[in-house]
Amino acid sequence: MTADIKRITTPLTDEVVQSLKCGDMVSLSGTIYTGRDAAHKMMVEMLERGEKLPVDWTAQVIYYAGPTPPKPGKVIGSCGPTTSGRMDAYSRQMMAQGLKGMIGKGPRSAEVIEAMKEYGVVYFAAIGGAAALIADSVKACEVVAFDELGPEAIRRLQVENYPCIVAIDAQGNDLYQKGVERYRLEEK
């Protein structure tokens, strides 16, 4: 891991995605979208019916979160990450739509990691327990699809210096696996 913070802006280019390495600390600025399992299920069903998705996912980043309503004077409420594995069943289809980054918490399945390598996608881990800090990085928020899903609607967020860590890079290097391996080595 490196102590340097990489400052990147969305949309993500292939060059930027390929430059990010497992363990890199990142400050992300630009547009990201929120979406959880209900929204993912609806989008995959739309694709199966041959319908156009409500968001052009080309070079975009999705944050697995369901923000709470904002308090007076705030742009967004608490917006901590949800468990990413809940989106694993839909991730390959989303990557096929051009998605370049995913943000959440927890490990991903071997199938998702293989798809990430195939499509050149990076998975960021949101900093656990930092929902208020994350909310402070959100400068604008609007629902763009599936308003009927409430907190699980797709939202477009404008973020500045959103803090995250590269958990799995586009080469398939997995911080969750490396952490376990490192712990075992230090245990001996």
Active site residues: 40
SS3 state of residue 38: helix
Strands (E), the chain: 5-9, 25-34, 61-63, 101-104, 122-126, 138-145, 154-168
User: Cα(43)–Cα(111) distance, rounded to whole angstroms?
Assistant: 19
- Pick from 103, 101, 108: nearest CA to 170: 101
Contact 162, 28 (CB under 8 A): yes
